Each structure stands twice: as structure tokens, then as C-alpha cells.
Chain A
Amino acid sequence: MINKLVFQNLKHRWVRTVLSATAVGVQVTMILTLVGLSFGTLEDMSQRSKGAGADILIRPPGSSIIGLSTAPIPEKVLSFVGKLPHVAVATGTVVHPIGGANSITGIDLDSFSRMSGGFKYIKGGPFRNPDDVIVDEYWARQYHLDVGDEYTFLNRKWHVCGIVQPGKLARLFIPLKILQDLSANTGKLTMIYVKLDDPANLREAMKAIRAALPDYQIYSIAEYVSLISVDNIPGLKAFIYVVIGISIVVGFLVVFLSMYTAVLERTREIGILKALGATPGMVLGILVRETVILALIGTAAGILFTYGTRWAIMRYVPGSLTQIIVPDWWPIATLVSLAGSLLGALYPGWKAARQDAIEALAYE
């Protein structure tokens, strides 16, 4: 019976219901999209790192996991590593920022292909000219590029020679030599990737490389990928907490306002219920149920919205961002929206519960 009343109340003022639930939904989407973007972008980085096909990664001394660094590894290190036991392929890359969070990767196509198994070309093919650039499908979609198109970055005109399937190390490639010269890193590398003759020799090979290059950071790919996590991005966790905090406040305000007006509007009805013998607890219970339903509808809507934001991101900016759906966070988002909503219902509910019956019935 209470549920019927709650349902009828929600239906009676359906615009209020829809707006409140949508607002709660936006708050939920805010959390879930942020989390989905963080996880998705990191997951994508991990996948691409794995997709390079390497077993071991060598980074220069004192560099951070994520972030762009210049190219301080002399090329002779590469040829030295290439001769170590169990090393099947060693290839070097240069990573250079091109504005924003974007970067371009210089590769030696020949050794890179041997390591990764080669690009899968959707359109076009490998580098032929010094101004050729290979992009992955997401990059091409985001920047509307096709094979043969002119593409300007680093103050130069480039030509797209191939569009490849995503998942191999980076999204934007030019020949290593060209990038080295262009970025004043001639003869230097940002990273070295090593593929072994047999992954079973990983330990032995790592030991040998560590012994030979004591100052360098040597990771197995598994180790490296495990370091690409929310915990290792400075500030990301704090940022997520801030968004959750804002979310709770927004949910609180939305539901507070919604329930407050509902209580004012229903002064008379609350009086009737009390005249029939309803306890303050029952009156409060009605508002709490209404709030919980609003929060749950809102959360469900918010979860649906994240499919929308994911679609929009994959459609328009797949080269920069990757969003995944993280069902693990659905319960957390639900709790956050319930917490905000119930806090918001607290004062209106208290006001309704202690309202004087006759005062309410005299309300015209």
C-alpha cells in the first residue's frame, strides 16, 4: 500500500521525477565515465604495450612510467643488447610529444615488424617516403584521415601511407631515423624493446641485461603493464575521489530540493495520513522509499548514459581516449547516489514527520 502511494506520487509529478532521476543519473555517469575513461585508457595502454610483442622493456635511468621523455639511450646500447644471449629481436623507439597528451613514435619498421608480427594494414601499406606516416584506425577516425591525405604536425606536412589495426604500441608512427633527426636525437632512443627466443628464458635474460646496464630500468612486459594502473598515475585517485565527493554533493542538493518541494506541496496529504493514524516513522518511510526509488532509477539511467558517453568517445575521439564499462563500479556508484539522495531527504523527511496534523489540513 505504501509502495502504491509512493508510486502514485512519483507518477503524479512525473516531470519532477524524471528531472530528479536524470540529475542523479548525470551524477552517476560523471563517476562511471571518469572511472571508465581512467581504466579504459590505462587498459588500452597496457594492451598496446603487450601488442608490441616484446618480452622485456628497457628505459633510461630515472624516467617515469607514464609520461613522455626524450631519448637519452645511445643506439650502441641497442646493438649491445641485441647480441646478448636469448635475445631474438631488439628494437628501439623514439617517443616525441606533438602537443597535448599526444605523441608520435618513431620505429624501425623492419625490426618492429619482426617483433610484433607486423602491422595489419586496413588500407595502404608501409613507409615508402621520408614524409610517410602510419596511423591506426582510431587515430584516422578521430582526425578524419585517409591514405594519401596530407597531415601536418611538428610544423611539417606528412602523408598518410597506411592505416593499421589498433593495438600495437602506439597510434601514430613515422620512421625512426626521421624522428631522431627531427627531434635532435640523432643516434639516440627513448626505449628499447626486447623479444626473446623463448619466454622461458625471461629471468636469465633480465639478469644478463641488468648486469650489463646497471643504471637502466629493466622491466618484463608483465611487470611494466602491472605498473600502468590507477595507483601509479599521480593524482588520478585523488581526482576520482574529488569527483565522487562532488557527486555526493550534487545528489544531495538535487534530492534535497526535490524532496523539500515535495514535502511542501504535500503538506495536506501528510496531514491526512497523520489524521488516519500514520506514525511519523511511516511518513518518513514514505519519503525515504520515494528517495530510494529516485536514486535507483537515476543510477540505472546513469549507467545507461555511460554507454552513451562511451559511444561518443569511440565515435569522435577514439585516438585520444578509451572508455570501458566497469560493472565493478556500478555498486559503488549506486551507493554514492543513495548516500547523496538519502542525505538530501533527511531534512525534508524530518520536517514532514514532525509536521502538525491540523496545521497541515488547514493549509489551503
Chain B
Amino acid sequence: MSEPQPLIQVRNLAKIYRMGDVEVHALRGVDLTVRRGEFIAIVGPSGSGKSTLFYILGGLASASSGSVIIDGKELALMSDTERTRVRRDLVGFVFQKYNLLPTLSAQDNITMAQFIAGQTHKPETAAWFRRTLELLGVGHRLDHKPRSLSGGEQQRVAIARAIVNHPALVLADEPTGNLDTENSEVVLKLLRDLNEQTGQTILMITHNPEAAAYAHRIVHMRDGRIIHP
């Protein structure tokens, strides 16, 4: 019996940012295989290319060279429309800087994600999602605009937005970076539950060893490469 096809297969991935004459080699040949249903923590010093890797996996940025096969398809060969579909239907993104829409309330930020995915009216998820919001401790803050929410609250709203559509792949860039121990634990347990109960694949960037311990596997990055310490 052959292994089921992995969700993500990264081969020799490189990314060079060009700023005028300066070239920044953010990724220098990354190889990574992510099986379906895995919960992986990615750790590494700041500037080691973790966020860049996420942007490429999420179809937000293109690689300079190398290959990324996601759900059986080569990202670089996809049309813009297909890449948009990957972002919409496959990936839930938690940004390091939250990236909520500033003019919309927390609730509307979440509804916008549902709307774009065409999932505004799914009663079976509504009850679950309301419980999740309570769990995250932002249930009573939903009418507020991002600027009147604390960093931690914005982060949790961003997490809620990323998971509301049950994406097969959650890419969470330092999701507990702005949270206290108690809220960090809530978020990490939530991610683990999603992973265990609905089989969602989760990639999480973190600095925190305790957070990394929630994952099945820890991947270390340094200087744009994956290292095996």
C-alpha cells in the first residue's frame, strides 16, 4: 500500500527579495513534506525566512525557484485564478500582524472571510463557531473595530477568521506572539483540537518551546534553510 499523497511537498525552494540593487536571500533551498493531518511547529530565529515560507505556501507570494506541490498541484504552474482558489478554499492564514480590515468590526471581518469563501450561511458551523469565539474570549468584543481591540484580541479575532471556513490547511504565523500564557494555551488547545477532531493540517510558526510542544513535529529554520540539529 502506497503512502497517501502529502498535502504539501516543497523541493529546493528559494526566494530572493530584490530591493533596488540589494538582494535578500530569504529562502535558500527548503525541502519539506507535510502529510495530511499533521500539526507542525516551525521554529527559528527572526529573519530566518519562516514568514516568507508561509507566504509562498499560502499562494500570496511566488517563489524565485524550486517547487511547491500543494494538494497535488504545482503552485508555480497554477493560473492566478487557481491560486486565488487555493487561498480561498484551502488555506486559512493567521498573519503575524493580524491584518484585520480596519474599517470593519471584528464580526464583519469574520463574516467577510465567510462571504469571500461563499460560506455565509452554514448553520451547522454557527453554533460551533460561537462556542469557539467564547473560548477565545472575544465573543463580547465582536462589535468593535480593530483599532479599539488590544493586540491580543486582534490576534484571536484573526485566528477565528482563519478557521471559520474549516480550511484544510491552517498557516499560523506566531499565533500566540501577543498572548498571555492563559490565552496562549486556549489558542494552542484550539489548534490541537481542530487538528485532532477535524483532521485539519496545521503549520504554526512560533518562538516559544512550550507552544512548539503541542505539535507532532518541530521543524527548525535558520538562514533560509531547514536544519536538522
Contacts and interface: CB of A to CB of B under 8 A. Distances in A.
A363 to B, nearest CB: 11
A233 B89 CA distance: 64
B111 A5 contact: no
B18 to A, nearest CB: 12
Contacts of A356: 61
Contacts of B108: 1, 4-5, 8
Contact of B93 (A9, A275, A279): A275
A268 interface: yes
B112 to A, nearest CB: 6
Contacts of A11: 103
Contact of B116 (A282, A357, A358, A361): A282
B99 A1 contact: no
Q: Which of A1, A276, A278, A279 has the most CB of B within 10 A?
A: A276
Given A273-B116, A358-B61, A5 B93 contact: no
B33 interface: no
Nearest to B87: A277
Contacts of B116: 273, 276-278, 282
B214 interface: no
A159 interface: no
Contact of A280 (B80, B99, B115): B80
Interface in B28-53: none
11 contacts: A1-B115, A5-B103, A5-B104, A5-B108, A268-B99, A273-B112, A275-B60, A276-B93, A276-B117, A358-B61, A361-B97
Contact of A276 (B88, B103, B120): B88
A7 B212 CA distance: 42
Interface string A241-275: 00000000000000000000000000011011111
Given A1-B111, A1-B120, A361-B60, A277 B84 contact: yes
Contacts of B80: 280
B87 A5 contact: no
B85 interface: yes
A277 B80 CA distance: 11
Contacts of A278: 84, 88, 116
How big is the B interface, by class?
20 to 34
B102 interface: yes
Contact of B58 (A4, A5, A275): A275
Nearest to B109: A272
Interface string A1-39: 110110011011000000000000000000000000000
B55 interface: yes
Contact of A269 (B60, B93, B101, B120): B101
How big is the A interface, by class?
20 to 34
Contacts of B102: 12, 269
Interface of B: 55, 58, 60-61, 80-81, 84-85, 87-89, 93, 95, 97, 99-104, 108, 111-113, 115-117, 120, 161
A11 to B, nearest CB: 8
Nearest to A12: B103
A272 B87 contact: no
B134 to A, nearest CB: 23
A274 B87 contact: yes
A2 B88 CA distance: 16
Contact of A4 (B99, B100, B104): B104
A5 B103 CA distance: 7
A5 B101 contact: yes
A272 to B, nearest CB: 5
Given A1-B112, A276-B117, 15 more contacts: A1-B108, A2-B115, A4-B108, A5-B101, A5-B103, A8-B104, A8-B108, A12-B102, A271-B99, A274-B84, A275-B87, A276-B116, A278-B84, A278-B88, A361-B99
Contacts of B104: 4-5, 8
Q: Which of B58, B60, B97 has the most CB of A within 10 A?
A: B60
Query: Closest 9 A-B residue pairs measured CB to CB?
Result: A277-B88, A358-B61, A8-B103, A1-B115, A277-B87, A12-B103, A358-B60, A357-B60, A276-B116
A275 B81 contact: no
B87 to A, nearest CB: 4
Contacts of A4: 104, 108
A358 B64 CA distance: 14
Interface in A305-355: none
Contacts of B100: 272
A259 to B, nearest CB: 16
A268 B103 CA distance: 12
Interface string A268-309: 110111111111101000000000000000000000000000
A4 B93 CA distance: 23
